[in-house]
């Protein structure tokens, strides 16, 4: 007897979202509106001065909404590179962060791609706009490393 194997979806969507300017409640609403089932936090340290966005509070909010939370510090942006982003040196910041991932954390990107293939997944960081955040580079590398067509949608 043969076992039916579910077909791979023609296209997988990987979402990205920043919490800047949001409340925990409207973050959850945005995720649920796109049927996100897993959030991968790509901050180096999952702490925030904004109430509700540090690890345990965020984990609890997402758990109550039926969304799995996990922190992947290996996809975080080290302080010295993050500073380049904050100073507006985006080209240099992107170049250095991409090089950092290429030199040892590509496997973490592969895990992210695998998670997105299993269930709707969103990459989370602070910055509201993905273009000024390292999560856009993580997402771009996921597209490059994916064997399945992967589309990025910034929420």
Largest CA-CA distance found in the chain, in angstroms, rounded: 62
Residues 2-24, mean pLDDT to the nearest whole number: 79
Q: How far apart are CA 142 and CA 16, in angstroms?
A: 12
Domain that holds residue 70: 12-154
Query: What CATH number does the domain containing 97 carry?
Result: 3.40.1010
- pLDDT score recorded for residue 4: 53
Residue-level pLDDT at 125: 96
* Predicted local confidence at residue 146, as pLDDT: 87
pLDDT in tens, 107-152: 889 999 999 999 999 999 999 999 899 999 999 999 998 888 899 9
**pTM, full prediction:** 0.89
| Pick from 9-18, 53-62, 66-75, 111-120: least confident | 9-18
| Backbone dihedral region for residue 8 (phi beyond 0: left; psi -120 to 50: alpha; all else: beta) | beta
Residues 69-100 pLDDT 10s: 999 999 999 999 999 998 989 999 999 999 99
CA distance 137 to 95: 9
Contact yes or no for 42/135 (Cβ under 8 A): yes
In which element (H, E) is residue 154 found? strand 150-154
Encode burial over 71-99: b for 16+ CB neighbours within 10 A, e otherwise. bbeebbbeeebbebbeeeeeeebbebbbe
In this structure, is residue 1 part of a structural domain? no
User: Is 143:4 a contact under the CB 8 Å cutoff?
Assistant: no
Backbone angles phi, psi at 79, to 5 degrees: -50, -45
For residue 61, tell me if it sits in a domain. yes
A 10 A CB-CB count for 155 gives 17
């Amino acid at each position: 007897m043969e076992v039916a194997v579910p077909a791979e979806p023609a296209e997988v969507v990987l979402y990205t979202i920043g919490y800047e300017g949001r409340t925990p409640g409207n973050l959850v609403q945005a995720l649920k509106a796109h049927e996100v089932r897993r959030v991968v936090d790509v901050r180096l340290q999952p702490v925030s001065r904004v109430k509700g966005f540090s690890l345990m509070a965020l984990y609890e909010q997402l758990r109550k909404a039926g969304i799995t939370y996990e922190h992947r510090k290996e996809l975080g942006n080290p302080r010295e590179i993050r500073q380049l982003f904050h100073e507006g040196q985006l080209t240099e910041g992107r170049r250095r962060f991409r090089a950092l991932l290429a030199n040892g954390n590509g496997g973490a990107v592969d895990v992210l791609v695998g998670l997105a293939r299993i269930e709707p997944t969103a990459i989370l960081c602070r910055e509201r706009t993905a273009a000024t955040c390292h999560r856009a580079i993580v997402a771009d590398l996921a597209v490059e490393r994916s064997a399945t067509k992967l589309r990025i949608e910034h929420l």
